[in-house]
Amino acid sequence: MGRLQPPRDPVTLRFDGEEIVAERGEPVAVALVAAGHLSLARSPKFHRPRGPACQRAACDGCLARVDDVPNVMTCRVPAADGMRIDTQNVVGSRDHDLLGMADWFFAEGMNHHELFAGVPGVQLVMQAFARRVAGLGKLPKEARPPREAMRREADVLVVGSGPSGMATAVRLSERGRKVEVVDDDLAWGGSIRALVGADAAAWQPLVQAFGSALVGGRVSVRLGTTAAGVFGGDVLVAGEAGVEVVAPRTLVLAPGAHDGVLAFDGNDHPSVMSARAAGRLLGYGVLPGERIVVVVADRGGPFGEAFVRAHPAATLVRGVPVSAKGGGRVREWTVATPAGEQRLKADVLVVDAPRAPAYELCAQAGAALVHEDRGFVVHALGGRIRDGVYAVGEVAGTPLDPTAVANEADAVAESA
Ligand code: FES
């Protein structure tokens, strides 16, 4: 576990007082994993330990207080010298949270709305206790000053800088359109950044074309910037630089897909992460564990296999996890495979399951949704949701394949 190479531009962070050396600009959650920390947060109600399972702002397992700001997704914060990261929502310490007793007391679940309801006196005590146990973090000492939201028009707005967003941006820019791309990540590339070595090579022409479009000024990209909602023809865009309502002539939604989550005993353990998250860590030169088992479920891929190709010491198994055995750091996993149940020793379990399209913005834009086993898929013929609004990439069921992505971008550029 840890870094494959020492940081080239090291900075020092403090995590609950412990000094941690990080690469400047890498996500803080990556630096914490590199330093051996997988248990970063606690669930709000039962205080079960949580870990950075997605590395893409979608699981909340990396929430912490950063420089006195609560509930920060540390997978979306660049490491900087002197940064202070504190575990929140615990009584005791991150590893020994007294409030974790709630999980032990109420092993079958707990509805705090009904707990001792109607019992004079006890009800008030229980309500106070429930408020103390639940919730996330404490407010900062000072409120941030309010910021003005601007409204402006744009030619093309692309939401998401993954492969489909990149390809469509390039194609539209080649037709003389002025393209702006927003992404809440710290770097562009989306899922491509979870592929390393030979698996990343197939995407190099697209990476180069997008890079050239940026350098040539035909496309601009704003990172750390979230498209928070679509309201008619307007998109609410928020980032450190400010908040705006953008009204684009053409809106391209490329939000990708959420990691697939399988139901098994122990699936919320900090030692469990998605194959895409493990690939991202490897892209930063970080291994999440010493013994890693990668489970590829039916219709999962391509990140699990790609991870094992880049890190052959990991064990690849096809099947579904059944249970975990061990303490704070799980040691043994039971996996159901076509050949029967296997027990595998590992300190990290990487799961590659079918991803669920991140359909939310598309639904707000009026897209029709089709339900499949993996979740809701946007139904957009030729990528078109309605006049001037398009959905591309995994959200619309397009495979993560360079040719499919290029063809889709051509069709959207032609139509738009
Ligand atoms: S939200 Fe940060 S790792 Fe999942």
pLDDT score at 375: 92
Q: How confident is the model at residue 223 (pLDDT cuts 50, 70, 90)?
A: very high
Residue identified by tokens 């007793």 is 101
Any domain includes 267: no
Which spans in 137-274 are helix H?
Answer: 163-174, 198-201, 204-215
Rounded CA separation 243/140 (Å): 21
pLDDT score at 136: 75
For ligand 1, atom 1, the nearest C-alpha belongs to 57
Any domain includes 17: yes
Rounded CA separation 147/173 (Å): 32
- The CA 78 to ligand 1 mean position distance, Å, reads 14
The yes-or-no verdict on residue 259 having pLDDT over 80 is: yes
pLDDT tens digits, residue range 39-59?
A: 999 888 888 899 999 999 999
| CA-CA-CA-CA dihedral for 384, 259, 52, 100, to nearest 10 | 120
pLDDT score at 327: 65
pLDDT tens digits, residue range 379-395?
A: 998 899 999 999 999 99
Candidate from 55, 136, 281 with most ligand 1 atoms within 8 A of CB, to mutate: 55
Q: What share of the chain is helix, strand, coil (3-state, %, to 5)?
A: 25, 35, 40
Residue identified by tokens 């601009």 is 220
Q: Which residues line ligand 1 (CB under 6 A)?
A: 29, 52-55, 57-62, 73, 75
Ligand 1, atom nearest to 62 Cα: 2
- The CA 58 to ligand 1 mean position distance, Å, reads 5
Give the range among 39-53, 87-101, 115-129 with minimum mean pLDDT. 115-129
Any domain includes 264: no
Ligand 1, atom nearest to 60 Cα: 1
The yes-or-no verdict on residue 172 having pLDDT over 90 is: yes
C-alpha distance from residue 258 to each of 17, 184, 376, 395, 407 (Å): 33, 14, 11, 9, 23
Q: Are residues 303 and 160 in the same domain?
A: no
Rounded CA separation 30/14 (Å): 14
Which tokens belong to 104?
Answer: 């032990």
Rounded CA separation 309/198 (Å): 8
pLDDT tens digits, residue range 352-361?
A: 999 999 999 9
Q: Are residues 14 and 121 in the same domain?
A: yes
Candidate from 26, 33, 60 with most ligand 1 atoms within 8 A of CB, to mutate: 60
pLDDT tens digits, residue range 270-288?
A: 999 999 999 999 999 999 9
**Longest distance between any two alpha carbons in the chain, whole Å:** 71
Which tokens belong to 245?
Answer: 């309502």
Most confident of the ranges 108-112, 323-327, 363-367: 363-367
Q: How confident is the model at residue 135 (pLDDT cuts 50, 70, 90)?
A: low
Share of the chain above pLDDT 90, in %: 78
Q: Are residues 112 and 17 in the same domain?
A: yes
Any domain includes 306: yes
The residue from 352, 374, 394 where one domain ends is 352
Any domain includes 140: no
Q: Are residues 36 and 93 in the same domain?
A: yes
Which tokens belong to 186?
Answer: 């710290």
CATH number at 191 reads: 3.50.50.60
Candidate from 30, 54, 351 with most ligand 1 atoms within 8 A of CB, to mutate: 54
Q: Are residues 341 and 363 in the same domain?
A: no
Q: Are residues 7 and 61 in the same domain?
A: yes
Where are any strands of DSSP class E within 16-148? Answer: 18-23, 41-42, 49-50, 63-66, 69-73, 84-86
pLDDT tens digits, residue range 320-343?
A: 999 988 766 678 999 999 999 999
Any domain includes 261: no
Ligand 1, atom nearest to 58 Cα: 1
The residue from 336, 352, 368 where one domain ends is 352
Q: Are residues 322 and 378 in the same domain?
A: no
The yes-or-no verdict on residue 177 having pLDDT over 90 is: yes
Ligand 1, atom nearest to 59 Cα: 4
The residue from 328, 352, 376 where one domain ends is 352
Which tokens belong to 285?
Answer: 């030169």
- Strand order from edge to edge, sheet including 315-318: 272-274, 348-352, 292-296, 315-318
Q: How confident is the model at residue 174 (pLDDT cuts 50, 70, 90)?
A: very high
Instruction: Kindly report the number of other CB atoms within 10 A of residue 183's CB atom.
Output: 27
Q: How confident is the model at residue 108 (pLDDT cuts 50, 70, 90)?
A: confident
Burial degree of 391 (CB within 10 A; 0-12, 13-18, 19+): buried
The yes-or-no verdict on residue 112 having pLDDT over 80 is: no
- The CA 61 to ligand 1 mean position distance, Å, reads 5
Residue partners of 295: CB distance under 8 A and separation at least 6: 304, 317, 318, 319, 320, 321, 335, 349, 350, 351, 352
Q: Are residues 251 and 390 in the same domain?
A: yes
C-alpha distance from residue 387 to each of 246, 251, 390 (Å): 17, 9, 8
Rounded to 5 degrees, what are φ and ψ at 316? -100, 130
Q: Are residues 93 and 205 in the same domain?
A: no
The yes-or-no verdict on residue 314 having pLDDT over 80 is: yes
- The CA 239 to ligand 1 mean position distance, Å, reads 18
- The CA 379 to ligand 1 mean position distance, Å, reads 28
Instruction: Kindly report the number of other CB atoms within 10 A of residue 55's CB atom.
Output: 31
CATH number at 28 reads: 3.10.20.440
Q: Are residues 180 and 209 in the same domain?
A: yes
Q: Which amino acid is at 156?
A: V
Q: Are residues 121 and 24 in the same domain?
A: yes
The yes-or-no verdict on residue 19 having pLDDT over 80 is: yes
- The CA 327 to ligand 1 mean position distance, Å, reads 22
Give me the number of domains the chain comprises.
Answer: 3
What is the residue-wise DSSP string for 33-50?
HHTT----EE-TTT--EE
- The CA 53 to ligand 1 mean position distance, Å, reads 6
pLDDT tens digits, residue range 183-209?
A: 999 999 999 999 998 899 999 999 999
Residue range of the domain that includes 227? 150-255+358-415
Q: Are residues 110 and 176 in the same domain?
A: no
The yes-or-no verdict on residue 212 having pLDDT over 90 is: yes
Any domain includes 332: yes
The yes-or-no verdict on residue 149 having pLDDT over 90 is: no
Q: Which amino acid is at 315?
A: T
Any domain includes 79: yes
The yes-or-no verdict on residue 345 having pLDDT over 90 is: yes
What is the residue-wise DSSP string for 314-382?
SEEEESEEEEEEESSSEEEEEEEETTEEEEEE-SEEEEE-PPEE--HHHHHTT-EEEEETTEEEEE-GG
The yes-or-no verdict on residue 79 having pLDDT over 70 is: yes
Average pLDDT value for the chain: 93
Rounded CA separation 158/254 (Å): 7
Most confident of the ranges 89-93, 140-144, 288-292: 288-292
- The CA 52 to ligand 1 mean position distance, Å, reads 5
The yes-or-no verdict on residue 248 having pLDDT over 90 is: yes
